[in-house]
Amino acid sequence: MLIYRDAYVCQACGAHGSAIDFLMNYQKMPFARALNILEKGPKVEPREIVYEEESEKPRELSWNIAAKCFAALNQHAIDYYHARGLKDETIRHFMLGWHKEKKRFVIPVSQGGKLLAVRYRRDDSNSNDTGDKMSAERGYNSTLLFNSDSLRGKDTAIICEGEFDAMILWQELGGEYGVVTSTNGAGAFRKVWVKEYFSDVVYPFVCMDADKPGQDAAMRIWKMMRRSRIIKLPEMGEGKKDIGDYFLMGYTAEQFKELMARAINPWSKKWAT
């Protein structure tokens, strides 16, 4: 168990939370009030408890990184995540955070309670940050399957493009299906994952961005897993092409399930209507 001033992480079961969670769950406070109290509250030195076995896994990142960024969430970061369509419960579930020094949004990548990578998304409102849109603290591998734990016990899974699309789709579908994405771009899905993660998935779907790179990536994944079906997003207007746009425009989970029902295996040559 890791215990901090503002957060905790259970490495055994993967449970995690913050002082905000404590106030909301045990004091029954709304999110905004809990955040306001903590921002004005006294500051104390952090305390950390780390089991010895963590030091025996050098390729695994310490949850210290993600927990401190989660605890550093400010209103600017929360507003950004809300603007991307993510609810407070989803922010907490994925332990999204804010890196004070880098001034970037933080997306941890974990599996089975192990932290494998921490990804930093550029704040586009910060003109001083001229770096790549995404950067990372890397653990096991530079390309990982984000939200892979959602596949456990599921016979239906959706592969999409990008962490934010995966998070909002998982959220809107209520965790009913496994929803995953490869880190590092649309074309980064690895063939070895088909056997490693999808052996027990009966109904695999692919839903990538509605642009040429996205559709090329969808076909590439289908060629690796020819039992999969490709979901086609509707025309949504100029500049709107992905799952995030789809839900921010007001489409519902039930409407997305209708897209799933019309998804095709490319052998059929045409889209269902």
Written as tens digits, the pLDDT of the chain (273 aa) is: 454 555 545 545 555 566 666 666 656 777 666 666 666 654 434 334 343 333 333 357 888 889 999 999 999 999 999 999 999 999 999 999 999 999 999 999 999 888 989 999 999 999 999 999 988 876 544 689 999 999 999 999 999 999 999 999 999 999 999 999 999 887 899 999 999 999 999 999 999 999 999 999 999 999 999 999 999 999 999 999 999 999 999 999 999 999 999 999 887 655 444
What are the tokens at 79? Answer: 């507003």
Separation CA 30–CA 41 (nearest Å): 17
Separation CA 80–CA 64 (nearest Å): 23
| pLDDT of res. 10 | 54
CB proximity list for 166: less than 8 A, separation 6 or greater: 146, 147, 160, 179, 180, 181
Classify each residue of 207-232 as buried b or exposed e, where b means 16 or more C-beta atoms within 10 Å of its C-beta.
Answer: bbbbeeebbebbeebbeebeebbbbb
Chain-centre distance of CA 74, in angstroms?
19
Q: Among 112, 97, 186, which Cα is nearest to 147's?
A: 112
Separation CA 203–CA 215 (nearest Å): 19
How many alpha carbons fall within 13 Å on the CB side of residue 228?
Answer: 25
| pLDDT of res. 113 | 87
| pLDDT of res. 47 | 37
| pLDDT of res. 51 | 32
In order of 75, 116, 129, 167, 233, the CA distances from 132 in angstroms are 24, 20, 9, 21, 28
| pLDDT of res. 16 | 59
| pLDDT of res. 267 | 73
**Helix, strand and coil in the chain, % to nearest 5:** 40, 20, 45
Contact 104, 129 (CB under 8 A): yes
Contact 144, 138 (CB under 8 A): no
Separation CA 49–CA 209 (nearest Å): 42
